[in-house]
Amino acid sequence: MSSKAYLDSSTAIEHLASYSRGDGLAHSWGLTYNDFLILPGKIDFSASDVITESRITKNVVLKTPFISSPMDTVTETDMAINMALLGGLGVIHHNQSASSQAAMVRAVKRHENGFITDPIVLSPNHLAEDVLDVKARLGFCGIPIADTGAVGGKLLGIVTSRDVQFQNLKTPLSKLMTTNLVTAPEGVTLAEANMLLRDSKKGKLPIVDGSGRLTSLLARSDLLKNQNFPLASKRPESKQLYAAAAIGTRPADWDRLAHLVKAGLDIVVLDSSQGNSIFQVDMLRWVKKTFSHLEVIAGNVVTRAQAAELIAAGADGLRVGMGSGSICITQEVMAVGRPQATAVYAVAEFASKFGVPIIADGGISNVGHVVKALALGAGAVMMGGLLAGTTEAPGEYFYHEGKRVKTYRGMGSIEAMEQGKPAPPGVSSSSSKFQPTKAATHENAATTRYFSESSNVKVAQGVSGDVQDKGSIQAFLPYLHAGLQHSLQDIGVRNVSELQAGVKVGRVRFELRTASAQVEGGVHGLNSYTKRLFA
């Protein structure tokens, strides 16, 4: 990635004065992704040679520039894990209790590891039912047994699902554990430990010090994941998947963030429909001071002036977009926002001078939109509707007008704003397909996101609906990745950095297109057709 010198972030607000005019109407129109095309270049390489890695914060680079939105019908545990395995990132929503959100972060961090430095450890006095409880909660049951029941205790054995299968649930683990162990000494390299684990044909490899005390653990399942998911988004030091989650900008979110950090959070997204507020600036400064190791993505913004405030406060990345999502009606109801292509270009041009990447959030309906967002300067795209309806999205499938669908709702919808509130007397919680899946009462993320928590009348800035079944993102995200590679090949660039550099020097060219040109560029002139996106 580029090592160019950047301006000091603290000077962002002063740097605005170097622009001859502010954002908004002058001699230009606001553009959306559909309003222009990218002209083709020369192909002298294969699509498989295209590298799609891109920076999403000052210190985090993803192999694929895809991020799932922190919406309660888009990103929970399954989506976050699978997005990370496939080279992207899933941002866990906060329209739930802090403990529930922290449990999701913890599940992401435990899904794939290098050396597991904080493994679940039991003592010989624990029972078979404790192993099954761990499996039910965390999805695995290869558990080391130490005399203290914790890391640092003397390793005595290991227990697996086979050891407790068909056993009395009250049987102590001292009678069930396997004591014939293969271990590795503390200080072994990850490559050496992986080789030993592979050759031993064991499921787990405990790492012990000179006194036989457990210090960490390595899992065979992670070896398999490394083979199956070569693009996985991991922390370079621990080899754990990146975990990202959203929080609000209110005092209650201080405690929420503490829970998330304890669970292993890597990236926090400050979630607000209009990011240039004193609430977010104060929260951003507090987070950077209190949890300096966290990467903080702030937003949402659509102008240079908004971006400058957050960059000066210490943002590591910015979300760009206001009212461009398929379920968002902010522009219609509030008369505030900005066409997405113009917003992405304006903010990216400004933020790039300070080394702050931006994420294009909203308005992504197809691979072409992803490419255009990246060309305009985005480090990644954040998707809601494009990923809602996949197997990994929260919620159950149902049939609507003969189609298999899942609920998808904007966080500004009335339904989202009522999430976590007790149902009125006499109203069944199952009376609508749009009812939330969690019943626990908690501070509502949707109302704080739209500054509506103290309002007697809730003004919707989003709608509820449903989207058609898209299958698993295990197939859908590789399609987006392959489509992106082929598009960059058509443009004649080998990676995202080359694409953006080409735009800056005029080598990669755009062209506006009329409404009739947009019709011509889509399917037309057929009586009927079938649109299969990938095979």
Mention every residue, 6+ apart, whose C-beta is less than 8 A from residue 327: 384, 385, 408, 409, 410, 413, 462, 463, 464, 465
129-147 per-residue burial string, b: 16 or more CB within 10 A, e: under 16: ebbbebeeeeebbbbbbbe
Torsion of CA 304, 512, 381, 499, to 10 degrees: -90
* Tokens, residue 496: 């995202």
Amino acid found at 244: A
Q: How far is CA 120 from the centre of its chain?
A: 25
Mention every residue, 6+ apart, whose C-beta is less than 8 A from residue 501: 507
| Bridge partners, 158 (sequence order) | 144, 178
> What are the C-alpha distances in Å from 51 to residues 215, 233, 481, 482?
37, 15, 10, 11
- Please, where are the H alpha helices in 291-375? 304-313, 330-334, 340-351, 367-375
Q: Of the listed 256, 304, 319, 328, which one is catalytic? A: 328
3-state secondary structure of 127: strand
| Bridge partners, 143 (sequence order) | 159
- Please, where are the H alpha helices in 86-151? 98-111, 128-138
Express the helix, strand and coil content of the chain in percent, nearest 5 each: 35, 20, 45
Rg for the chain, CA atoms, rounded = 25
3-state secondary structure of 313: helix
Annotation marks residue 328 as catalytic? yes
> What are the C-alpha distances in Å from 333 to residues 11, 243, 329, 460, 489?
35, 34, 6, 8, 40
**Residue 107 near residue 498 (C-beta atoms within 8 A):** no
Backbone phi, psi, residue 467, to 5°: -130, 150
**Residue 391 near residue 472 (C-beta atoms within 8 A):** yes
* H or E element at residue 39: none
Amino acid found at 109: K
Amino acid found at 92: I
Matching residue, tokens 């621990």: 238
Distance from C-alpha of 429 to C-alpha of 437, rounded to nearest angstrom? 10
Q: Of the listed 449, 494, 513, 532, which one is catalytic? A: 449
Matching residue, tokens 């005399």: 147
Establish how many alpha carbons lie within 13 A of residue 1's alpha carbon, considering only the half-sphere containing its beta carbon.
16
- Please, where are the H alpha helices in 435-514? 445-449, 473-491, 496-505
**Residue 411 near residue 445 (C-beta atoms within 8 A):** yes
Distance from C-alpha of 134 to C-alpha of 136, rounded to nearest angstrom? 5
Q: Give the residue numbers annotated as catalytic, written as ranges.
A: 328, 449
